[in-house]
Amino acid sequence: MSEITNYKYYVGGKFIQSTSGNLIEIICPYDQSIIGRVQAISKEEADVAIAATKAAQKDWADTDLFKRADLLNKWADQLEIDAEEIAQMIMREVGKTWNDAVKEVTRTAEFIRYTVQEFIHTNDAAMSGANYPGGSKNKFAIIKRIPLGTVLAISPFNYPVNLSVAKLAPALIAGNAVVFKPATQGAISAVKLIESFDKVGFPADILQLITGKGSDIGDYVSEHDGIDMISFTGGATTGRHLSSFSTMKPMVLELGGKDPAIVCEDADIDKTVAEIMSGAFSYSGQRCTAIKRVLVHATVADELSEKLKTAVEKLSVGMPIDNPIIVPLINEGAADYVQGLITDTIAAGAELLVGNKREDNLIYPTLFDHVTTDMRLAWEEPFGPVLPIIRVASDAEAIEIANASEYGLQASVFSQNFSRAVAIAEKIEAGSVQINGRTERGPDHFPFLGVKNSGMGVHGISRTIESMTREKLLIINV
């Protein structure tokens, strides 16, 4: 039997062991083997990691932009070299299929390169006093963007590399230092990510990887005076909790969703079915932007539900290495929760079309018709492969149900009447509305945001850079 590795955290440009002696075992979601252990660092070690960023950040911000860019580009190259090794860990640790795990790493290398270019092409702006009534033509403002200082990057389990780098790369190119706290289930993938970062030769202390349970050190580091900005992606409950004590600290939150797919009677039903299927079920629905409810006009509901049923029955189910659509969920608690929702929906009287089968953490894809608004499944985010169909009588009813959710991340509208689709989209309370396409995050340079309990602030490469910098004016009086 091979020995179990104790993965170290990363501070001062070195991988080190916590003096706490506390380790967290990381269990593979699909074969329950121990993949490794990560350090549960102490609050004092978090203090040291954060304090060390202060001097390093000033030097880093003063470093020639093209030197910073060169290092980040080298990291992108290194990620491509290390892609298979990192992908292997993503697959083992968060149960993502092999193909998707490799894609996650290569997509991330592209993300870094684009981010570097985006920042290089961001120029300072200038204004003249003469453009304000009574203003002086002898006054000029140069508006620069400067880094905020030390960014705390907290990422979720489901994209342990991509959603982490979506914070790290914009922060670093803009001249910030970063304290990176990954999801515990995802922390070994984060160590692998930082191993490739370490090979490139960045200065010490501009990026610290700290590991440990959010429930133990999360509040402490989030409240820490040494943190100048928080960039968080995760569940709504955690996000709301963080926002409750982030006094005067800029914060961007990307949270959960209950994205509706609204299907009008004039939709191209075959295309709609294909989009809903990939939107709802890929990676077993463990995507913030998964389609999590279907609101269909009653006149086409039979046809849609029949075709969705056929498609769900054909979904491949299995282990990540075989690249199926449906893989085991992240842990037993997640599978219990999804199974609970399924059992509850059956008891509440919805029609089960396919599914309600479980083997350990593997929940088979499950489709319900005739779900009504008094059922939990109409409102809760399962983060698993279960999709409710809710029948509606009008566009107005679809909009009303879509907007009654606590969430507002994305939505899809399917109709061949473009004006009608746009009219619906304009009334939906969500960060983005896809017309005739599945809900999804990319491409990564689009702004990405949620409203209500789905988030605060905006992500997407240029917007993330903006959120991690602030304007500073130099006013020249001639």
Note the residues at the interface with ligand NAP (CB under 6 A): 154-158, 163, 181-184, 213-215, 218-219, 222, 233-235, 238, 241-242, 254-257, 288, 381, 383, 409, 450, 455
- Judged by CB, which is closer to ligand NAP: 296, or 387? 387
Q: Supply the minimum distance, in Å, between the C-beta of residue 420 and ligand NAP.
A: 28
- Judged by CB, which is closer to ligand NAP: 287, or 391? 287
Q: Supply the minimum distance, in Å, between the C-beta of residue 154 and ligand NAP.
A: 5
- Judged by CB, which is closer to ligand NAP: 129, or 437? 437
Q: Supply the minimum distance, in Å, between the C-beta of residue 167 and ligand NAP.
A: 11
Catalytic entry in 45, 104, 254, 466? 254
Tell me whether residue 254 is one of the annotated catalytic residues. Answer: yes
- Judged by CB, which is closer to ligand NAP: 243, or 372? 243
Q: Supply the minimum distance, in Å, between the C-beta of residue 23 and ligand NAP.
A: 14
Q: Supply the minimum distance, in Å, between the C-beta of residue 258 and ligand NAP.
A: 9
Q: According to the 3-state scheme, what is the secondary structure of the chain?
A: CCCCCEECEEECCEEECCCCCCEEEEECCCCCCEEEEEECCCHHHHHHHHHHHHHHHHHHHHCCHHHHHHHHHHHHHHHHHCHHHHHHHHHHHHCCCHHHHHHHHHHHHHHHHHHHHHHHCCCCEEEEHHHCCCCCCCEEEEEEEEECCEEEEECCCCCCCHHHHHHHHHHHHCCCEEEEECCCCCHHHHHHHHHHHHCCCCCCCCEEECCCCHHHHHHHHHHCCCCCEEEEECCHHHHHHHHCCCCCCCEEEECCCCEEEEECCCCCHHHHHHHHHHHHHHHHHCCCCCEEEEEEEHHHHHHHHHHHHHHHHCCCECCHHHCCCECCCCCHHHHHHHHHHHHHHHHCCCEEEECCCEECCEECCEEEECCCCCCHHHCCCCCCCEEEEEEECCHHHHHHHHHCCCEECEEEEECCCHHHHHHHHHHCCCCEEEECCCCCCCCCCCCECCEECCEECCECHHHHHHHCEEEEEEEEEC
- Judged by CB, which is closer to ligand NAP: 227, or 276? 227
- Judged by CB, which is closer to ligand NAP: 256, or 355? 256
- Judged by CB, which is closer to ligand NAP: 196, or 286? 286
Q: Supply the minimum distance, in Å, between the C-beta of residue 133 and ligand NAP.
A: 43
Neighbours of 65 (CB within 10 A): 14
Q: Supply the minimum distance, in Å, between the C-beta of residue 38 and ligand NAP.
A: 10
Tokens 């979601």 belong to residue: 29
Rounded Cα distance, 403 and 414, in Å: 17
Rounded Cα distance, 95 and 103, in Å: 14
Residues with a known catalytic role: 254
